[in-house]
Structure 1
C-alpha cells in the first residue's frame, strides 16, 4: 500500500510503516486478525492515528476527541478510560476505525431479540402517525447531552491548560501551521487532520445553510415577512418540537 504525501508531509511516515516502528522507538503492530487486507488497513490507520490516543501531541488528542467522539464505546476506552499500554492502545485504535461499520450488522442482530409481544401488537394495530418521533426526540436528547459534555469538557481543558501546555492552545489544536508541519510525523499528521476537520466543518455549514434557506422558504409561504418574524417562528417551532 502506497502512502500518499504532499510536500513530504507527514514526515517519515513511509519510514515508520516500512520499519514498523515510530520515530520515538515504539513498535507498530503488524497483525490483528491474520487477514492480510484487514491487517494492512488497520496497520496504516493505527500509524496515522495513534499519536492522539497516546497523547504524543496533546493538541492532536484534543482535536480527535472534539471531532471523532461519535463511536462511544471505543472512544471512551481510548480517551477517557485508564491509560493502557502501547499494544492495547493500538488494538483499540484499530477497533475504533471499524466500529461505525459494525453498527448496522449489530442492529440486525439485535432486531431478532425484540420482544415478541411488541411484534405481535405492532402487527395487530396500525402504526400511529409520528409514532417514532418520541424515540427520535429521546435519541437526539441523549446524543446532544453527550456531545455537549464532551465539547464543554474539552473547552475547559483548553482554557485551563493552554498557559502551561502550548500544545493545548486552540491555535495549535485547530489552525494548520506550515512552520511545524515537517518537524515530525506526528505534527505532519496533525496538520492533515486539521485540514480534514476544516473541510468537514465547511460542508456541515453548507448543509446547515441549505436547511435554513428551506425553513425560510416555508416561513415565507406562511406569511412571515421579516427576520424577527423568522427567528420567532423558528424558536417557537423548535420549542414545540422539544
Structure 2
C-alpha cells in the first residue's frame, strides 16, 4: 500500500493518518505505472471541488465584480497554480510514476503535478467530506489568494485590447511544435499581429504557451 514517506506526507497534509489507503494511493498514481486505478477520476472530482471552494472564497469579497471574480478564479484554479501549490508542499517525490515517465522528468511536469494536486483534493472530499476539504484548500491556497494571482489582466486579454486600441487585426496564435510524451508534453506557440511582429513561447500546455507568447509579444511591442 502506501510507503512510510507517503504516510508521513499525507498525515501532515490532512492532519491525520489516511484511513482509506487505497483511495490515497490512487490519487498519487500516474497511468504510466500500469496500475488498474490511477488519479484521473479523482482529478476530475477534485477539479470541481477546488473550483467551488475558490469561487465561494472569492465571493466573500463584495468589492469585486463578476468579471474580476472570473479572472481571479481562472488564475487560482489553473494548472500553473495547482502545480505551484504541489511544489510548495513537496508533492513531487510522492507521485507514483512508471520508469519511463520518471526518466522523462514527470515529477517536475506542471501537467502531472497539477493533476495530482487536484486528485488529492478529490480524495479528501471522498474520504473526509466538503468542510475539511474546504479548510485544506484554504490553507494551501491562502498565499495565492492573498497575493496577486489573477489581479493583473490576463496577457491574452491585454494583447487583444492592445491590438484593438492600436487599430490592428486581432492576434493570431499558431502551434509551432508539440514534442515529448503525453505525460510530459511540450508546446511551442507563436503569436503574431499583422504588420507589427510576432513572438513565441514554450510551455507544458498549449494554453500556457499562448499566455507566455502573448506576454512576450507585449514586452517587445506593447
Q: TM-score, normalised by structure 2?
A: 0.31
- Of Structure 1 and Structure 2, which has the larger fraction of its residues in strand? 2
